[in-house]
Structure 1
């Protein structure tokens, strides 16, 4: 299959074009060759991968309650879930996709059962048990992959991470059509503090004809799609879009984790030091890709991880985000 339509503005027109030159991004497995035509690359699942999971049933799935609701911050829920975020978001309208260019780093992870990710969330429904979510970005997750490499990933759920959905291709759901990019494979090169910067572009949009949600990586790679029948609310449209970072703090009752988000630096340090999302856009009901209106910012503990929105001609709507976790102001 191929999408019947791409969003208007994707290949010019009203697209915001950055003046920043972005070096080409590769995956390390490309050093060993490519997949033949009519096949797709699938990251091998090893016995060790499965043994790290809490159970075979939970392998490849997020823990429950791992989604930020900027409209309602419950301290008890924060402590229970251990997930913390620094995000920009829009809500209240009907959205048919989202796009962003995401700065790529390799944050340090304190505990093997913690992770750090930077992603786009496409959300439908309430933040209760019926939440629908499509997610895509990069992550470092020793528990899932057995190492500290930065990897491209996707996720989906139709019941708030309870029984449906998974990462990448670890369950049925996301249907890959591309034979050049592997889900869950490591990304190279990685940004350096006060040095060379690298980023990836991700677009997720709803095909107005077929109704499936498609994902594109960079300007050339349509990776695959989530069939509309997977979802209830997202079968129609999304009601909230979120962009940003998430970490797991596995010791919420003790000292704060030192797991980094983004580059591990706070937003105020700016370009080449703090991590960024630039050219954040939404797909509207007319299938137009455009800058979002009324962008909000949210974080549970700004002294641990923070976010700062901005706007410029070169980067359109953007934000810096992240932080080191435990520090003198985040004990």
Structure 2
């Protein structure tokens, strides 16, 4: 399978072609045509999960709703989530594109995760559908602190359906070069060289699949048949960072670079060239972005005016627990 065609109006971003995604496993070889790389699932990976059924899944919430992105602490579990995000609402969306800055935030082993991603969503209550893609540091899932490419999906607000990466049926991979769940080779350095990845998710108007492209590589698709509210279009899109902790008190897990947005380029984490796809299958700037950070003294987000080379962009992140964030 291949997409029938790509969205129009793509920014001419030479960094995408000049710096294709590389992963650590590429040092060992490659997969032949008509095969795909799959990260090995080991016994200890499954044993770290609360149960086999929960392996590779997110923890369900007792009051799931689209606003759970904003108030996820209402869950039945002891997992506490915080976000620093930008959101677009009010239209029918058929995808998004954004370039995401790569970092390796500090996460205590066994105590949650830190990520940066795109969310495409639709529905309310127990019928929330999401498609998600980005990078994460998640020691409990991967047993290391590497920065890894990840995907996720659900059609029932994280209750029973969906999972990370290829840990359950859903996403159909068609690419033999990129391992979903694999470590990336390069991350940004504070005050030094910056690394980034471009993500594009769009709905094929002919066949209905939601396709995923990372950099120059088309990785595969989510069939529309696995969704209810995303079978046709999305009602909201979000971009930004998230941390999750099992501690009841404020966590010291870093988001992004671990520094606040006001520090700017090469110090704070960013997402740039934020675009949405309309019903004509064209990429365009979002009409408006709503910014949200539940605890801005811990993690914050800051929008920037559109520019010729960065388009619409945000800076986000923070250190978590500190004297100003007890």
TM-score, scaled to structure 1: 0.93
User: For the Cα contact (< 8 Å) 1:16–1:315, is it kept in 2?
Assistant: no
| Residue number in structure 1 paired with 2:104 | 106
Q: How far apart in 2 are the matches of 1:155 and 1:74?
A: 17
User: For the Cα contact (< 8 Å) 2:90–2:235, is it kept in 1?
Assistant: yes
Cα shift at 1:69: 2.3
1:71 and 1:115, CA in 2 relative to 1: closer, same or farther beyond 3 A? closer
Q: How far apart in 2 are the matches of 1:69 and 1:221?
A: 32
SS in 1 for 2:230: helix
1:189 and 1:223, CA in 2 relative to 1: closer, same or farther beyond 3 A? same
User: For the Cα contact (< 8 Å) 2:273–2:312, is it kept in 1?
Assistant: yes
User: Is residue 2:114 matched to residue 1:120?
Assistant: no
| Residue number in structure 2 paired with 1:173 | 170
Deviations 1:82-108 (A, max 9, x none): 111000010121000011100000000
Structure 1 stretches of 5 or more lacking a match? none
1:269 and 1:72, CA in 2 relative to 1: closer, same or farther beyond 3 A? closer
Deviations 1:14-54 (A, max 9, x none): x2647899744310000000001110000000001101101
| Residue number in structure 2 paired with 1:30 | 26
Moved over 3 A (4+): 16-25, 65-68, 70-81
SS in 2 for 1:229: helix
User: For the Cα contact (< 8 Å) 1:89–1:296, is it kept in 2?
Assistant: yes
User: For the Cα contact (< 8 Å) 2:60–2:76, is it kept in 1?
Assistant: no
User: Is residue 2:157 matched to residue 1:160?
Assistant: yes
SS in 1 for 2:126: coil
1:239 and 1:72, CA in 2 relative to 1: closer, same or farther beyond 3 A? same
| Residue number in structure 2 paired with 1:49 | 45
- Partner residue of 1:282 out of 261, 269, 276: 276
Task: Spell out the pairing of 1:1-331 with structure 2 (5 A cutoff).
Answer: 1-10=1-10, 15=11, 17=13, 23-65=19-61, 69=67, 73=71, 76=74, 81-126=79-124, 128-218=125-215, 220-252=216-248, 254=249, 256-310=250-304, 311-331=306-326
Aligned length: 323
RMSD: 2.1
